[in-house]
């Protein structure tokens, strides 16, 4: 399968809190992977795709950002709903926050990725 993502996704697999639209409800979720262009999250409830048009996601104290996203795909299995989200409305400041979070927390994956690519210039 051809990769169509604009940016590489990094495996996160951490608990987070998702707030949708301008509601006060916060949904516990798991951020499975993340990049500056999107993420995969799973949660215990089924949400309409439209609610992702304005979200706030918090990964504890380490990262919080606001974005608009659209659902690229959805899968439901064993009372978990997994969403592949593509950021459709996110400013550069929020992207920078995500990039800093990845650089500060996933250097092992970054180094592994760079080692896998060393030969591509030849």
Q: Provide the 3-class DSSP secondary structure of residue 63.
A: strand
Cα distances from 84 to residues 62, 69, 101, in angstroms, run 22, 10, 20
Rounded-to-10 torsion of CA 61, 66, 68, 72: -10
Tens-digit pLDDT profile for residues 2-25: 445 456 788 899 999 999 987 888
This prediction has a pTM of 0.82
Q: Please name the residue that has the structure tokens 């993502």.
A: 5
List domains and CATH numbers for the chain.
10-115 (2.40.10.220)
Q: Please name the residue that has the structure tokens 């979200």.
A: 55
Tens-digit pLDDT profile for residues 87-116: 999 999 999 999 999 988 886 665 565 555
Measure the N-to-C terminal CA separation of the chain; round to a whole number of Å.
24
């Amino acid at each position: 399968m051809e990769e169509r993502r604009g940016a590489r996704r990094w495996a996160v697999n951490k608990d987070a809190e998702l707030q949708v639209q301008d509601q006060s409800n916060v949904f516990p979720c798991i951020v499975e992977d993340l990049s500056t262009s999107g993420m995969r999250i799973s949660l215990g409830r089924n949400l309409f795709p439209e609610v992702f048009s304005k979200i706030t996601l918090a990964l504890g104290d380490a990262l919080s950002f606001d974005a608009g996203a659209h659902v690229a795909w959805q899968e439901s299995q064993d009372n978990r709903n997994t969403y592949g989200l593509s950021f459709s409305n996110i400013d550069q400041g929020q992207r920078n926050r995500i990039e800093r979070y990845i650089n500060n927390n996933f250097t092992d994956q970054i180094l592994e990725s760079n080692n896998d690519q060393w030969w591509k210039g030849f």
